[in-house]
Amino acid sequence: MDLNYLRPLKQIQLFTKTLKNNKLMMKNTIGINAGDIWQLLSTKGPLSVRQIGDYTHYRDSAILIAVGWLYRENKVRLIDKNGSLKKKTQHGADC
């Protein structure tokens, strides 16, 4: 019996599983980076994206994605003076 017709289906299933695993790994990495940046802002105070990169050695894209994550969770705010990021307290007030 020729089962070659099943081969493309198995390849699609493997690809889908790999894609899901990569998506989960990326989400975890973003969360870890966001946590690192959160801790950095807690210890150093307001920092620019460039300064965050100097401390963490993360790529700009990784920093911006992690900052977006923190911003969506209302944990950072942008300070207009020099474009610095500042951590917020649990109550939303600035630290």
CA-nearest of 19, 30, 25 to 69 is: 30
- This prediction has a pTM of 0.69
| Tens of pLDDT, residues 41-94 | 999 988 888 999 999 999 999 999 999 999 899 998 877 666 676 766 554 444
- Model confidence over 4-34: pLDDT tens digits? 655 677 777 777 777 777 777 888 899 999 9
Q: Give the pLDDT band (50/70/90) at residue 2.
A: low
Angle of CA points 15, 28, 71, to nearest 5° = 125
Domains along the chain? Answer: 9-87 (1.10.10.10)
